[in-house]
A = this chain, B = another copy of it.
Amino acid sequence: MKRIGVREIANLAGVSPGTVDRALHGRKGITEETRQRILAIAERMGYQPDLAARALSVGRAPVRIGVCIPREIRHYFGPLQEGIEAESRRLERLGVQVQYRPTERLGSDEAARTVELLEAGIDALILTPGDPAALTPVINQAEESGVRVICVDTDAPESRRSSAVCVNAEVCGALAAELLSATLPPESEVAVVTGMMAIEDHRRKSEAFRKGISKDSPVTIVEAHEDEEEAFQKVFALLSERSDIAGLYVGTVNCLPVLRAVCARGLSGKIRVITTDLFDAMAGYFDRGTIFASIHGRPFAQGEIAMRLAVDHIVNGTPLPRSYDLLPHIVMRSNLLLFREMRKTAAPTLAQALDTGEE
């Protein structure tokens, strides 16, 4: 049972393959009537284009993906980009072409880069909308011209983007709470250190954390505005004033000053600290027991998945999920060395382990 091609459709419709091509691709130079007739036949026969043949014919990859993500902060967006690249490297020999237009940092120059990509001609666009409001018109325009937009890491929920690949902030906060609750005596005092409550992601994490902590435990919230010095000072002061604090949840990637404050107060290993994400400088704090666990947002996996969703949609017509929530990983001493972020410092035997992508 052979698959059907343009030739067969042409015969059935009593036209030439050229006309079928015009109908299938919405090209001009064909009456609406014949187009509908051909489309109907193609539909009925379950026509599936042969991608290999198409690639060969057009002389370029049959699917082109544009990518616009920030270069900084390296800790976080580095792995995100690596994930995207890893996935596209596999795919490109199979006929997928990727175009990069990185921005310097989150939110800078996004719109311009994005427009460049659209003008270069792409079938889908992967991007981190740092300034969702500003980007929404561009996103909507892209979607209207048939370019599927997939947000990654941060979302632009007001736009008409096709999909968003993110870790679920509520789950992160709730996990931190569950780990602390189970670990500390009931009614222990805990605190959460966050960046800015104005940032959606930070607010949701903190909120979920508070909800997850048993009602008897008081929760102090420290807003450090992503500033190193401020974070250190505030946490140091907090730990001095409130000697009964037993647990700490750092909901932002900016955990180093917090850890320094904990150590400076001589509380390393005495109070349970849960951090966010993972980078090599954190390794030492795991070893010394300063960090009990980290809730890892898996930027690498996010990159891989975004790329896969895009290609899978274009090639196979798989519907894009409105949003795709990743499971955060829980990093502890026992599994630390299996994370790619620790590859450099890892022992040689475990260094070969290279778990990446999803689930």
Contact = CB atoms under 8 A, between A and B. Distances in A.
Interface string A164-179: 0000100100110111
7 contacts: A50-B56, A321-B352, A326-B355, A327-B335, A327-B338, A355-B358, A356-B359
A119 B316 CA distance: 30
Contact of A56 (B52, B171, B178, B354): B52
A51 interface: yes
A90 interface: yes
B315 A93 contact: yes
Contacts of A316: 89-90, 93
A77 to B, nearest CB: 16
A329 interface: yes
Contact of A354 (B55, B179, B272, B324): B324
Interface residues on A, range: 35 or more
Nearest to A48: B93
A183 interface: yes
Interface string A319-354: 001111111111011110011100000000010111
A157 interface: no
Contacts of A125: none
Contacts of A51: 52, 93-95
A352 B352 CA distance: 33
A349 B328 CA distance: 18
Contacts of A300: 359
A101 B91 CA distance: 27
Given A330-B330, A357-B359, A335 B171 contact: yes
A280 interface: no
A329 B332 contact: no
Given A182-B183, A327-B335, A357 B305 contact: yes
A53 interface: yes
B53 A174 contact: no
A3 to B, nearest CB: 11
A232 interface: no
A155 to B, nearest CB: 14
Nearest to A54: B52
Given A168-B353, A330-B330, 13 more contacts: A51-B93, A52-B56, A56-B56, A171-B334, A175-B332, A182-B183, A212-B334, A301-B359, A321-B354, A322-B352, A325-B352, A356-B358, A358-B358
